[in-house]
Chains A and B, each alone.
Chain A
Amino acid sequence: MYLFSSLSRLELLAIAESTVATAAAVILGSSYSMSWFSLALSIGGLFLGVFLVAMFTISLQITMKRREVAILRALGATRSSLLRAFLLRIVLIAVMGCLAGTMIGYCVAFFNAECSLLSLEIVGLSSIISLLSSFCGGASAVKRVLDLKVGEVLRQ
């Protein structure tokens, strides 16, 4: 939509963080020296890390775009249309981070003798958690778009 053109630095940062966390989860999850306890910790870390980074970067992005959002609202763009635009963007970021992380993690684990437990389940679980956490983190930040006081923002 008209709010977004190319990927901003903040969005690239969110994608990079999600990539690293997903790759790490795939590698750690397939390492034979991992116990179930450390596997749970790494999965939990992946969820929390990606969630927080997605929430932080998207929040910052929205704060930077609040004037644009206010102008669009004043010109007649509804909350739902703006929300849709932001959520689509978050899905794009989540999918890019997840895909890149899964591919990198898979390649590293495949060629690493330590990662003998590499399986479809580990890769799938890491990808799903990465996707979910970045989407949830971004979506919780987007709620702020709904609470924008258009008149006040335009007056500032």
Chain B
Amino acid sequence: MTRSEPVLRLDNLTKTFETDCGKISLFNGLSTEVMEGDFAAVVGPTGVGKTTLLNIIAGLERPDQGTVTALGQDVTAMDDNTVTEFRGRNIGLVFQGSQLLPGMNVFQNVELPLVIRKTEESERKRKTEEILEFFGLTRKSSVLPAALSVGERRKAAIARALVTEPPLLLMDEPTGGLDAPAVNILTPLLRGIHFLHKGTILMATNSLNLAKMASREIPIMRPKLLMTCQS
């Protein structure tokens, strides 16, 4: 794929939701492209659907209208198994709130995507150790997530997403819920990831400071109220 080709293309994307008091429409025909090597930030206040957008791109949710083309393939047209395998091979995901498996230590959590991909054990160990070292988590590798600080958990979650060196990295509020010192540690780290990670990064955030780091911003409009319930 050359520099000028989009890694991600969203065409006329809309997602509707039924709420307790009405039907809302998110994105309202959003169309955009993210080029290879870009660091793009999906920005907008809480509740505009940033997480939903990342979920749709990752194939975890389906849009009501429009298509998502990632790495040249239409994610919205894939069946569940195909999209799961595609995600495992090509997309690194950092969820809001880390989402580490509580019964596994840091090493096992970070190694997990490689286990799912059935990577050879020696290769798995080498890659996991390397990424843990980069994130300064080597000494915490045998610790369970509950014993980590929120910042360390977030770092482990980012390490897990990067361990497979995915061409597309999706990060949902990477500094959300962190205190100022933890944000100060994580922000340069994210800059470093962009520098070292050769793939494309799409980050959802409502932090203006974090969005400034990105090479471009994708603003999300406020949801449209389609129908209100009668009281």
Is B103 touching A78 in the complex (CB atoms < 8 A)? no
Distance of B88 from chain A, by nearest CB (Å)? 2
Number of residues from B at the complex interface, CB < 8 A: 27
Main secondary structure, interface of B, reads helix
A10, CB-defined interface residue at 8 Å: no
B85, CB-defined interface residue at 8 Å: yes
- Tell me the B70-127 residues at the A interface (CB within 8 Å): 80-81, 84-85, 87-89, 93, 95-96, 99, 101, 103-104, 108, 112-113, 115-117
Number of residues from A at the complex interface, CB < 8 A: 21
Give the CA-CA distance A76 to B116 in the complex, in Å.
Answer: 7
Distance of A62 from chain B, by nearest CB (Å)? 15
Give the CA-CA distance A64 to B115 in the complex, in Å.
Answer: 23
Is A71 touching B89 in the complex (CB atoms < 8 A)? no
Question: Among B80, B84, B95, which residue has its beta carbon within 8 angstroms of that of A154?
Answer: B95
A79, CB-defined interface residue at 8 Å: yes
Is A5 touching B89 in the complex (CB atoms < 8 A)? no
Distance of B61 from chain A, by nearest CB (Å)? 4
Known: A2-B101, A151-B55, A154-B99. A76 touches B60 (CB 8 A): no
Residues in B neighbouring A5, C-beta threshold 8 A: 103
A60, CB-defined interface residue at 8 Å: no
Give the CA-CA distance A50 to B87 in the complex, in Å.
Answer: 39
B67, CB-defined interface residue at 8 Å: no
Distance of B15 from chain A, by nearest CB (Å)? 11
